[in-house]
C-alpha cells in the first residue's frame, strides 16, 4: 500500500478508508480491531493505519478491553472507542418567551442544559442577545469551548427556509420574520448553524425518542400558548412546498375569517391556546389560579371548573384538528406543549370531540418530552449535520471538519 501523500489517488483512498473505519467504530461504540476489519472488509494493515490517523485527529482512542471469562492467549486484543466527547453540539430552542440551550456529546447525550424564561422581547435584536448569553452560560457550565462545537441546531417559531437558514414568517416576534437567523448567530460560532421550525424539531425528537415504535405517519401537535403541528410521512419530515406544512395555529374556521389576532396569535391559537384557557377560567370564576399552568394542573386532578375549561378548549381545538387530520389520515397524533399538564383529562376530551367530527379518529397520545422536545430535536438536527460533515471530512479531499 502506498502511504505517501504524493498522488491524489492513494491519498483520497486513504481518507476514504478512514471514513469507513470511523463509521464502523462509531456504530459499534467500542470495537476490537478484528471487528473493524470484519465490518469494513478492509485489510488489517489498512485498518491499523486508519485507526492511527483517527487517534491522531482525536476521534478515536484506545481503551481497556472488556473483561472476558475466557482464558486469554498471547497479547490482549487492541480495543478502540469512538470519542463521543471529541466535539459537542448545541441544540437551541428559541421563542418569544424562552431560550433553552442544550449541549450534547457526539452520541447525543445531553451534558448540560439551561432554560431561561424571557420577557416578551421588544425586538429580534433583544431576543438574539438572550440566545447569545444563554449559549455562553451553557457552554461555560459544560466546560465546552465554542471552537470545539461541531454543529449548532436551532428551532424557532415560524416558517423557515432551511437552505438559507432564514426565518421567512414569524408573527410572534417583531423583526424575527425575514431574519437570516443562521447568519445572525454565525458570527461568534466557528461551525455551521442549522435552522428549523421548532415544532418540526419536536417531532424529530419524538421519533428519536423511540417511544412510538415504528409509527411512520405521525403528527405532533404542540399545544401551548402557541399551537403548531409537524408532520412525519413515512418517517421523514414533511415540510411542504413552502415550508408551511402543519401550521395548524393559523387555521381560520369561522365564516368570516378572523386573521391574525393580538400578540400575533393565529385564530386557533387565540381561541384554544393557553392564554384563552387562563382567561376562560377567570371568566368562569376561578380567582385563585395565577396562570394557565395552575388551571391545567387542576384539570389533571379532576377539579370541576378547570375540567370544564379544558373540555371547552378541547372542543375548539378538535374543530381545527379534524379538518387537518382529514387531509393526512395519520396513524398517530402526539400532543405536546403546555397543555399536557392536563394529562388524560385533556386527551380523553380531545378524543371524544374528534369522534363527533372526524371520519376516522387516529391513536392519540401525550408527548413525554415536555419542554425538552424542541431543544432535543435541535440536538438531533445538529448531530445529523455533524456526522455527515465528520464523514465527509475523510471522504472528500478538501473538506475539513
The per-residue b/e assignment along 303-323, b for 16 or more CB within 10 angstroms, e otherwise, is bebbbebbbbbbbbbbbbbbe
Strand-pair category, 332-336 with 236-237: unpaired
Q: Are 135 and 88 in contact (CB under 8 A)?
A: no
Q: Look at the block and give the residue holding cell 472528500.
A: 396
Q: Are 76 and 100 in contact (CB under 8 A)?
A: no
Question: In terms of Cα–Cα distance, which of 200, 219, 199, 208 is closest to 331?
Answer: 219
Handedness of CA 197, 199, 227, 354 (dihedral sign): positive
| Residue with Cβ nearer a second copy (354 or 386) | 354
CB of 366 to a second copy, least distance (A): 19
Q: Are 110 and 103 in contact (CB under 8 A)?
A: yes
CB of 238 to a second copy, least distance (A): 7
| Residue with Cβ nearer a second copy (126 or 244) | 244
CB of 359 to a second copy, least distance (A): 5
339 grid coordinates: 397543555
| Residue with Cβ nearer a second copy (118 or 358) | 358
| Residue with Cβ nearer a second copy (259 or 304) | 259
| Residue with Cβ nearer a second copy (70 or 262) | 262
CA distance 323 to 248: 10
CB of 384 to a second copy, least distance (A): 20
CB of 216 to a second copy, least distance (A): 9
| Residue with Cβ nearer a second copy (282 or 356) | 356
CA distance 133 to 13: 43
Cβ neighbours of residue 326 closer than 8 Å, sequence gap 6 or more: 358, 359
CA distance 310 to 343: 10
Report the SS3 class of residue 263: helix
CA distance 226 to 228: 7
CB of 310 to a second copy, least distance (A): 17
CB of 331 to a second copy, least distance (A): 4
| Residue with Cβ nearer a second copy (61 or 331) | 331
| Residue with Cβ nearer a second copy (146 or 357) | 357
CB of 253 to a second copy, least distance (A): 6
Contacting residues toward a second copy, per CB under 8 A:
159, 169, 217, 229, 231, 233, 238-248, 250-253, 255, 257, 259, 315, 319-320, 322-331, 356-360, 362
Amino acid at each position: 500500500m502506498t502511504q505517501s501523500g504524493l498522488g491524489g489517488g492513494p491519498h483520497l483512498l486513504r481518507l476514504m478508508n478512514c471514513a469507513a473505519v470511523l463509521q464502523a467504530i462509531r456504530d459499534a461504540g467500542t470495537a476490537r480491531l478484528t471487528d473493524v476489519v470484519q465490518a469494513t472488509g478492509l485489510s488489517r494493515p489498512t485498518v491499523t493505519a486508519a485507526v492511527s490517523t483517527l487517534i491522531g485527529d482525536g476521534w478515536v482512542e484506545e481503551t481497556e478491553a472488556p473483561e472476558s471469562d475466557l482464558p486469554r492467549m498471547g497479547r490482549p486484543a487492541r480495543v478502540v472507542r469512538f470519542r463521543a466527547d471529541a466535539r459537542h453540539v448545541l441544540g437551541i430552542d428559541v421563542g418569544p418567551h424562552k431560550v433553552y440551550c442544550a449541549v450534547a456529546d457526539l452520541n447525543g447525550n445531553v451534558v448540560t442544559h439551561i432554560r431561561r424564561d424571557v420577557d416578551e422581547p421588544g425586538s429580534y435584536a433583544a431576543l438574539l442577545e438572550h440566545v447569545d448569553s444563554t449559549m455562553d452560560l451553557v457552554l461555560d457550565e459544560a466546560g465546552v469551548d465554542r471552537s470545539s462545537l461541531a454543529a449548532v441546531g436551532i428551532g424557532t417559531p415560524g416558517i423557515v427556509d432551511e437552505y438559507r437558514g432564514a426565518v421567512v414568517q414569524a408573527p410572534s416576534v417583531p423583526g424575527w420574520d425575514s431574519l437570516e437567523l443562521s447568519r445572525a448567530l454565525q458570527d461568534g460560532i466557528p461551525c455551521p448553524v442549522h435552522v428549523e421550525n421548532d415544532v418540526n424539531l419536536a417531532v424529530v425528537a419524538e421519533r428519536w425518542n423511540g417511544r412510538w415504535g415504528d409509527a411512520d405517519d405521525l403528527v405532533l401537535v404542540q399545544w401551548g400558548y402557541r399551537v403548531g403541528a409537524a408532520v412525519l410521512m413515512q418517517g421523514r419530515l414533511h415540510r411542504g412546498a413552502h415550508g408551511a406544512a402543519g401550521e395548524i395555529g393559523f387555521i381560520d374556521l369561522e365564516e368570516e375569517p378572523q386573521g391574525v389576532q393580538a400578540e400575533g396569535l393565529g385564530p386557533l391559537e387565540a381561541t384554544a391556546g393557553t392564554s384563552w384557557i387562563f382567561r376562560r377560567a377567570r371568566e368562569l370564576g376561578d380567582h385563585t389560579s395565577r396562570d394557565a399552568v395552575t388551571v391545567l394542573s387542576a384539570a389533571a386532578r379532576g377539579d370541576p371548573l378547570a375540567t370544564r375549561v379544558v373540555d371547552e378548549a378541547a372542543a375548539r381545538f378538535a374543530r381545527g384538528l379534524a379538518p387537518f387530520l382529514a387531509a393526512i389520515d395519520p396513524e398517530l397524533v402526539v400532543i405536546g406543549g403546555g397543555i399536557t399538564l392536563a394529562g388524560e383529562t385533556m386527551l380523553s376530551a380531545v378524543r371524544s370531540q374528534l369522534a363527533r367530527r372526524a371520519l376516522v379518529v387516529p391513536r392519540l397520545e401525550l408527548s413525554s418530552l415536555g419542554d425538552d422536545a424542541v431543544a432535543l430535536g435541535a440536538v438531533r438536527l445538529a448531530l445529523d449535520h455533524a456526522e455527515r460533515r465528520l464523514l465527509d471530512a475523510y471522504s472528500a479531499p478538501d473538506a475539513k471538519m
